[in-house]
Amino acid sequence: MDKKASSTYEPQSTVFLSNKEDVYRIPALFYDQEKKVLLAFAEKRRTSNDASAEVLVMKTGMLIKDETTHEIRVTWSVAKYVVEKVHLGGYRPMNPCPVYEKTTKTLFLFFICVEGNVSEPWQRFWGINKARLCYITTRDAGDTWSSVTDLTKNFPEMKQWATFAVGPGHGLQTESGRLIVPAYAYGSRFPSCFCISCFFAVSRALCFYSDDNGVTWQVGNMLDDKSVECEMAEILDGKGTRYLYCNARNEGGYRVEAVSDNRGEDFITLPSAEKLVETGRGCQGSVVSFPAQPGVPGLIQEPQWLLYSHPTSQYKRVDLGLYLNKSPLDPSSWSNPWIINEGPNGYSDLAYLDDVWFACLMECGEASEIEQIACNVFSYNQASKAIGS
């Protein structure tokens, strides 16, 4: 692996702090450009076990810029419950995935609901899907939320999936107005042989999408390659063509990267340049696109660039890094990582702010990555300087 950039940045604020009674995991982040606030989401669990999830929680972060240092700080509200297992008939809410519709100024918070304490391995083994696709909405930056909408019945193909999930992390709205919710599904319900390992269905990334401001939803085709949790971003090449880029978790080795030229209905997997390492059995990562910066070589060729966050070790979840790609269709163009948090790190979610600033919501801690979810705000100039790009 290429040399990593030195660490010069640490989480600036704790958002959700775990304790003996509650464990916070699975961060998701949205930036409201009109109200200039961050909305941070997470699962509140009894333990670190996925099956112990009980509530989706939210905090609002106010951005405060220091006119002397020009750094941005965030002050966070108290936590608010937005979806509770107790109100879902025993289904536990998991995998928050916010996506904003600009025309109606509506934030959709997608998530899955899983029956009781049924685990994902159980569903994969038996081929019985116990997950449901749901969302709630807000038009006032999370002050009030709608009741839960369950879309599961609209997708009969879900009966053939062993299980599925959205995100986790943010979705997006493309320039054309299409809403994109990244997801993955274990699509094969029936094994091809009688080996025990074959009974575990194979996961592939895909997306749910809407072309009518979120009134109706469709599902795209799965990636050809094995892939799990994913995030997506819209990119624009030098010829004015828009693509939907997908960055997905894999089981060891390197990340799966794919692009779609029909806005998520089909994806073509890009050849791996072995730049983005995967951690052990895999870990979720985040990606956002942003405008290419003036005065930097590559502007004419690539009007939009990518920023990606993920643990940088191939062996364990440590040392969260940021990677920059100024030629998003070329996997070999990823930079070396800038380590923004040393030590245990897990899932993360990026948000693009105004004036080429970013926020990263991350799982981290001193002894374990599930000790807290913290937020880090930084500028492109800081990242570019640290990466040496």
The residue annotated as part of the active site, out of 229, 231, 319, 363, is: 363
For the chain, the three-class secondary structure string (H helix, E strand, C coil) is CCCCECCCCCCCEEEEECCCCCEEEEEEEEEECCCCEEEEEEEEECCCCHHHEEEEEEEEEEEEECCCCCCEEEEECCCEEEEEHHHCCCEEEEEEEEEEECCCCEEEEEEEEEECCCCHHHHHHHCCCCEEEEEEEECCCCCCCCCCEECHHHCHHHHHCCEEEECCCCCEECCCCCEEEEEEEECCCCCCCCCHHHHCCCEEEEEEEECCCCCCCEECCCCCCCCCCEEEEEEECCCCCEEEEEEECCCCCECEEEEECCCCCCCEECCCCCCCECCCCCCCCEEEEEECCCCCCCCCCCCEEEEEEEECCCCCCEEEEEEEECCCCCHHHECCCEEEEEEEEEEEEEEECHHHEEEEEEEECCCCCCCEEEEEEEEHHHHHHHHCC
347 labelled catalytic: yes
363 labelled catalytic: yes
The residue annotated as part of the active site, out of 9, 31, 43, 50, is: 50
212 labelled catalytic: no
Residue 225: CB atoms within 10 Å: 17
The residue annotated as part of the active site, out of 347, 349, 352, 380, is: 347
What residues act catalytically?
Answer: 50, 347, 363
